[in-house]
Amino acid sequence: MSWLDEVKWDDKGLVPVIAQEQGTGDVLMFAWMNREALALTAERGQAVYFSRSRNKLWHKGEESGHFQQVHAIRMDCDNDVVLLTITQLGHDPGIACHTGRHSCFFQKLENGVWSAAEPVLKDPKKIYE
């Protein structure tokens, strides 16, 4: 039995993945992986996700240059969520979000309104030139 067989894949063959920054503990992003993406992530030591919108593998940083070095791969007690401990590379401070922010979780609810709680570190138009 392969270690990949122990993952509880959903009916589409995917598992949710959280990328957490080593050192700060910041949750940088949420994405999905299929079996091939998780195997490649473990093999390469860099995050590879599955893009549901593009229906293909997505090596984080392939377009932006903001790669994720993977230090640890963990799974929750139900075997249905994966947690990556990563270092965000390609910009200092690290940019994980396609909006040019450190974290994809930059919106904060205050008084019934969502507002940006983190600044844009780099204009996304310049990231994806």
Strands, DSSP E only, in the chain? 14-21, 27-34, 48-51, 56-59, 68-75, 82-88, 107-110, 113-116
Rounded to whole angstroms, how far apart are CA atoms 8 and 14? 9
Residue 26, annotated ligand binder? no
Residue 10, annotated ligand binder? no
Rounded to whole angstroms, how far apart are CA atoms 48 and 58? 6
Residue 123, annotated ligand binder? no
Residue 77, annotated ligand binder? yes
- Residue numbering of the annotated binding site for Mg(2+): 76, 78, 80
- Residue numbering of the annotated binding site for Zn(2+): 77, 97, 104
- Residue numbering of the annotated binding site: 76-78, 80, 97, 104
